[in-house]
Amino acid sequence: MTGDEAPGLVVCAALRLEARAVRRGLARAPAAAVGYRARRAARLPRGRAVAVVGFGGALDDRLAPGDVVVAEEIRGGGKPVPCPGAPALAADLAADGLRVHVGPLVTADRIVREAERRVWAADGSRAVDMESAHVAAALPDGVPVAALRVIVDGPGHPLLRPGTIARGLAARRVLARTGPALERWAAALA
């Protein structure tokens, strides 16, 4: 790759902890922390494809902590953003031994409480985060985006309760295993 050529894939996460975890599984792609609510998304290196990864909350009570949700579209703040290749990415993650689900991902502007979870779950959304829609909005037109979230909390597993730290550590281990499938997803787009 020359200095002027964009990398094939750029992976971003809100937290440095998430970026470090996914970086362990990446062979070539850079991983960047974009901050809470993706405040630094405009400064992302430009890639030919972008994956937004990290921890998320389940909206669907069939999801358990440690499950991976791959977005078929990103909702929140405007027109839904389609995520090309979501089924193929999900199949690759499952082949790597992870429990994977595909469905819409919603970006919220705050921690979501139970009543709001039920409303979004009723429209088919599977998980919630605070960054994916912001990152997708900052991308140039035509740049494919993937979004995946490892579930930490949800119905029956509230965020601000005992057990969150253990679920977070387990989610970090799962997130570290997603890198190879993300790189295969980006390579298949080429």
Q: Is residue 172 part of a domain?
A: yes
State pLDDT tens for residues 116-172. 778 787 888 999 998 999 888 888 888 899 999 999 876 665 555 666 677 777 888
User: How would you classify the pairing of strands 127-129 and 50-58?
Assistant: antiparallel
Q: Count of CB atoms within 10 A of residue 53's CB?
A: 27
Structure tokens belonging to residue 86: 């979501």
Distance CA 52, CA 41 (A): 10
Q: Is residue 3 part of a domain?
A: no
User: What does the pLDDT read at residue 50?
Assistant: 92
Domain of 16, in residue numbers: 10-189
Q: Is residue 4 part of a domain?
A: no
User: What does the pLDDT read at residue 177?
Assistant: 96
User: What does the pLDDT read at residue 15?
Assistant: 85
Among 40-49, 89-98, 111-120, which range has the highest average pLDDT? 89-98
Q: Are 23 and 179 contacting, i.e. CB atoms less than 8 angstroms apart?
A: yes
- The CATH number given to whatever domain includes residue 174 is 3.40.50.1580
Q: Is residue 75 part of a domain?
A: yes
Confidence of residue 180 (pLDDT cuts 50, 70, 90): very high
Average pLDDT over residues 29-54: 78
Bridge partner list, 73? 82
Instruction: Indicate the helix (H) or strand (E) that contains 132.
Output: helix 132-138
State pLDDT tens for residues 59-90. 988 888 899 999 999 999 788 999 988 999 99
Q: Is residue 5 part of a domain?
A: no
Q: Is residue 146 part of a domain?
A: yes
Q: Using the 8-state DSSP alphabet, how is residue 154 labeled? A: B
Q: Does residue 5 register a pLDDT over 60? A: no
Q: Count of CB atoms within 10 A of residue 14's CB?
A: 26
- The domain tally of the chain equals 1
Residue carrying structure tokens 């597993």: 157
Distance CA 66, CA 151 (A): 5
Q: Is residue 185 part of a domain?
A: yes
State pLDDT tens for residues 94-104. 999 999 999 99
Q: Is residue 30 part of a domain?
A: yes
Structure tokens belonging to residue 24: 């362990």
Over the chain, what is the mean pLDDT? Answer: 85
